[in-house]
Structure 1
Amino acid sequence: MKKIKIAHILHSVGGVDVSLRQILHNLDTKNFENIVIHGDSDSINGFVDKDGRSIVDYQLPIYREISLKSDFQAILKAWKIVRKEKPDLIHSHSTKGGVTGRIVGFLTGIKVLHTPQAFSFLSAESKIKKVFFLGIEKLLSKGKTILLASSQSELNRAINEVGFPKSKTSLFNNAIEPIDQILDLSITKTWPDQYLCTVGRPCYQKNIEELIEVLYELNKTRDVHLVILGLGHHADHIKQVEDLITKLNLKSKVTLLSWTTREDVLNIISKSKLYLSTARYEGLPYSVIESLALSIPGVVSDCDGNRDLIINGFNGYCIKENDTEEFSKKIIELLQNENKYDKFSKNAKETFEKNHNIYQKINDLESIYIAQLK
C-alpha cells in the first residue's frame, strides 16, 4: 500500500510538542510518512520517526500572540509548503496550528484533522474575548475539518459549544510511552525529600494562585512542601504568584523551577507523594498522564482534561474549582491513609496502562488516519 503522507502543523511547545513527538515515535513507518510544519522559535530539537530517522520539518512565523502580519505570513508559507509536499492529510495541533492548518486545508482542498489540546476560547479572561475566539472556532469548524479530540471532555465541548456535528468528530486520547527509566536530575535539588508537585506555568489556565492558597491551608496543620515546575514560557501570572507566596509567608514551603528537561520533570514527579493541579481547563494534560504512569495519585480540579484522567475515589480526587478547603482535606486524607494511598497508586498505573499507553493505542490513531481517506 502507498504510504499515507501527513503534514503536521503546530506551535511545537509544551504538551503539544510532547503529543506530536509521541505520535511520530510510534506511527508505523511502513504505512505512514510525516512532515512537520512548526514555529521558527519553538522546538530546537529535530523530529524523528519510529526508526530513529529524521523527519523533514519546515519553520513558520507561528507565535502565541496574535499578529496579523506574522499570522498571514505563516498561512502563506504553509500553503506553499503543502502545495509542494502534497500530503494526503493535514493534522493540525493547538490553537495557532489549527488556524493555519484549517485555512490551508480550505485553500488546498485537503482534509484536516484538528486537535485543539484545549480550545482557545477557554483561555479568555473576558467575555468579549471569549465570544471572539469562540466565533473563530465556529467559523473554522466548517469545510472538511474533522475534530480529533484529545479527551472526551474536549469532544463534548466541540459538539456542545463549538457546534461540530458528531459525524465530524473523533477521539484519540493523549497517550505516552511507558516510563521504564528515571534518569538522575540534571539540576541541583534544593527542596526537601518529602514534597508534592505540579507542572504548569503561572497563568490564567493553570490557576497556580489557588494552589498556593491550598498550600497555605495545608501548612496550618502539616509541614508540606510544593514544587512547581514550568516557569519561563508565557508565565504572565508569575508576579501574582510570587506576591501571594510572600503575603502568606510560604517562601520556605515552595520551590519554583524554570523549564527543564522532560527527564528532570519525570524524575521530580516520580518522587513526589501526590500530583496536584488546580487548572481551570486542560485538553488532556500530559503531566497528569505521566503521574499516572508513575503510579502517583492526583488531587486535581474538576475541569476538562483533569476529570478524564483522575477518577474520583479511584486514582485520586477531582475537586470543584476554588474549593480550597476540600482540596486540602483530600490531600491530607491521602497523606494520612496509607492503605488508601497504596490502592490509589495501583489504580493510577492501571488507568495509564488501560487508556494512555501509546504502544497499545497508536493503532487507533492509524485507523483514524486511514478512515479519512476512504
Structure 2
Amino acid sequence: MKIVHVVEPFVSGVAVFVKLLVENLPNDQHIIIHGERKDVAPAEAVKKTFPVKNVKFIKWRSAQRSINPKKDLLAFMELYSILKRLKKKNLVDAVHLHSSKSGFLGRLACRLANIDNVVYTPNGAPFLLKGASPVGMLYKALEKIGSALGGKVVCCSQSEQQVYLSLGIKALNINNGIPVNKNLPQVNLPKGNRFRIVNCARITDQKNPWLFNEIAKQFEGMEQFEFIWVGDGEAREALTSSNIVISGWIPEKKAHEIVSTSDIYLSTSNFEGLSFSVLEALVFKKPVLLTDCVGNKDVVKKGLNGDLFQSAKGAVLKIMQYFNNRKMLTVMGEYSSNYCKQAFNISSTSSMYRNLYSGNNLVA
C-alpha cells in the first residue's frame, strides 16, 4: 500500500508519530510531504531518524506555522499540485494528514484532486489553546469546515475525541502508541539523594512553563528537590526559579537518561493530543503527575500510576506526598509500565491505522 503523509510541523511529537507509523508498517511505501521549522530542528536532521527502505520525502516549501491567507493559499496550491502529481503516477492509496494546518489544507486539496481515502489526526486540538478568544473561534470554525470536506477525523486520545464530538464533528479514536519493550537506559547521571522532577517538552505556551515555574518556586531553598526541563523553546524566559535546570535541545538518548533518573514526571500542559514524552515516562516506569486536561487525563489511573492536578498548590501537595512515601513510587512505576503495554502499544496503534487505510471499518 502507498501511504502519503502530509506534515507541516515536521518536528517534536508529530514527527515521532509519523516515524513510528513508518517503522511499524514496513511492508508499505510511505511518501512524506513535509514542511520545516528550522528554529526547532532542520528537516534534514529529522529525516535522518527515519528508516531508508520504505520512505521517500517531498519538501512542502511554502508551508508555514501561522495563519496567513496569502502564504496559506500558496501552500495549498503547492500541496494540491504534489498530490495531483502523485495520484497521476498511481502513488496514492491513502492520505494521512497530521496536525491542524495540514488537516485543513490537505482535505481541501484531496477534495479537489478526487482523493477519497483521507485520514486526519489533529494530535492536539488547536482551538483548545485559544479557548473562547476570536482566534479560538476561528480554529473551531476551520475544523468544522475541514470536516465537511471529507476524510475521517481520528483523535489520538479519548478525551480529544470527546472535544471533537462536542463540536458536532464525527471523530474516531486510536490512541497514540510507542514501543513498549524498550530497554531502560543505562544511566551514569549522579543524583544523590535529590528528589528529581522532570518534564520533557518544547517550552511553549501549550506546555505552560509558567505553571511549572510556579510549582518549582515553592521548593526554592529546599536542596532535596531538583526540577529539570528537558528541551527548549520560545517561552524559555518563563522558567526563572533558581532550582530549575533547562537542558536545551539534547540527543534523544541523553533525554531518556534524564527522564529515567527522575522520581516523578511532571507535565503542566494546557492540553495535549496524547504526549509521547509522557508515554515514554510510563515505559521507563515513572509515576506521572499531570495537569487535568485533554490528553493528559487519558494517561493517569488516579493513585495507581500517578495523579492529576488543577493548580500549583495541588501539584505541590502531591509532590510532598510522593517525597514522603518514596517506596510507593516503585509500585506506581510498575503500574505505569503495565498500563502503557496494555493501552498505548505502537503495534496496536499501527495495526488499527493500517486497517483504516485499507478501508476497513473501525469502532470508535
TM > 0.5 fold call: yes
Indicate yes or no: 2:254 matched with 1:280.
Answer: no
54-63 vs 18-27, greater mean Cα deviation: 54-63
- Displacement of 1:222: 6.4
Query: Whole-Å Cα distance in 2 between the matches of residues 143 and 190 of structure 1?
Result: 54
Indicate yes or no: 2:88 matched with 1:83.
Answer: no
- Displacement of 1:33: 2.0
Unaligned stretches of 5+ residues in structure 2? none
Query: Whole-Å Cα distance in 2 between the matches of residues 73 and 279 of structure 1?
Result: 33
Indicate yes or no: 2:182 matched with 1:182.
Answer: no
Say if 2:22 and 2:54, in contact at 8 Å, map to a contact too: no
Partner of 1:107: 112
Indicate yes or no: 2:333 matched with 1:345.
Answer: yes
Task: Note the 1:27-42 alignment, pairs <5 A.
Answer: 27-29=25-27, 32-41=28-37, 42=42
Task: Note the 1:261-340 alignment, pairs <5 A.
Answer: 261-320=251-310, 323-340=311-328
Partner of 2:20: 22
SS at match of 2:64: coil
Runs of 4+ aligned structure 1 residues displaced above 6 Å come to 47-50, 189-193
- Displacement of 1:28: 4.2
SS at match of 1:71: helix
Say if 1:125 and 1:204, in contact at 8 Å, map to a contact too: no
Partner of 1:215: 216
Say if 1:311 and 1:318, in contact at 8 Å, map to a contact too: no
- Superposed CA deviations along residues 149-184 of structure 1, whole A, max 9, x for unmatched, are 1100111111112x213xxx2221111123225267
Query: Whole-Å Cα distance in 2 between the matches of residues 319 and 89 of structure 1?
Result: 40
Query: Whole-Å Cα distance in 1 between the matches of residues 97 and 179 of structure 2?
Result: 22
Query: Whole-Å Cα distance in 2 between the matches of residues 46 and 56 of structure 1?
Result: 10
Query: Whole-Å Cα distance in 2 between the matches of residues 158 and 238 of structure 1?
Result: 31
Indicate yes or no: 2:149 matched with 1:143.
Answer: yes
Q: 1:318 to 1:104 in 2, by over 3 A?
A: same
SS at match of 1:309: coil
| Two-structure CA RMSD over aligned residues (Å) | 2.4
- Superposed CA deviations along residues 88-108 of structure 1, whole A, max 9, x for unmatched, are 221100122212211111111
Indicate yes or no: 2:7 matched with 1:5.
Answer: no
Task: Note the 1:221-240 alignment, pairs <5 A.
Answer: 223-232=224-233, 235=234, 237-239=235-237
Say if 1:7 and 1:90, in contact at 8 Å, map to a contact too: yes
- Displacement of 1:192: 7.1
Query: Whole-Å Cα distance in 1 between the matches of residues 356 and 173 of structure 2?
Result: 9
SS at match of 1:56: strand
- Displacement of 1:126: 6.3
Partner of 2:53: 53
User: How many equivalent residue pairs?
Assistant: 348
TM-score normalised by the chain length of structure 2:
0.88
Unaligned stretches of 5+ residues in structure 1? none
- Displacement of 1:81: 1.4
Residue type of the alignment partner of 2:25: L
Query: Whole-Å Cα distance in 2 between the matches of residues 40 and 220 of structure 1?
Result: 42
Residue type of the alignment partner of 1:100: L
TM-score normalised by the chain length of structure 1:
0.86
Task: Note the 1:357-368 alignment, pairs <5 A.
Answer: 357-368=345-356
- Displacement of 1:257: 2.0
SS at match of 2:148: coil
Query: Whole-Å Cα distance in 2 between the matches of residues 107 and 193 of structure 1?
Result: 61
SS at match of 1:135: helix
- Displacement of 1:67: 2.7
Q: 1:333 to 1:129 in 2, by over 3 A?
A: same
Query: Whole-Å Cα distance in 1 between the matches of residues 186 and 16 of structure 2?
Result: 18
Say if 1:183 and 1:264, in contact at 8 Å, map to a contact too: no
- Displacement of 1:54: 5.1
Residue type of the alignment partner of 1:152: Q
Q: 1:106 to 1:372 in 2, by over 3 A?
A: farther
Residue type of the alignment partner of 1:206: K
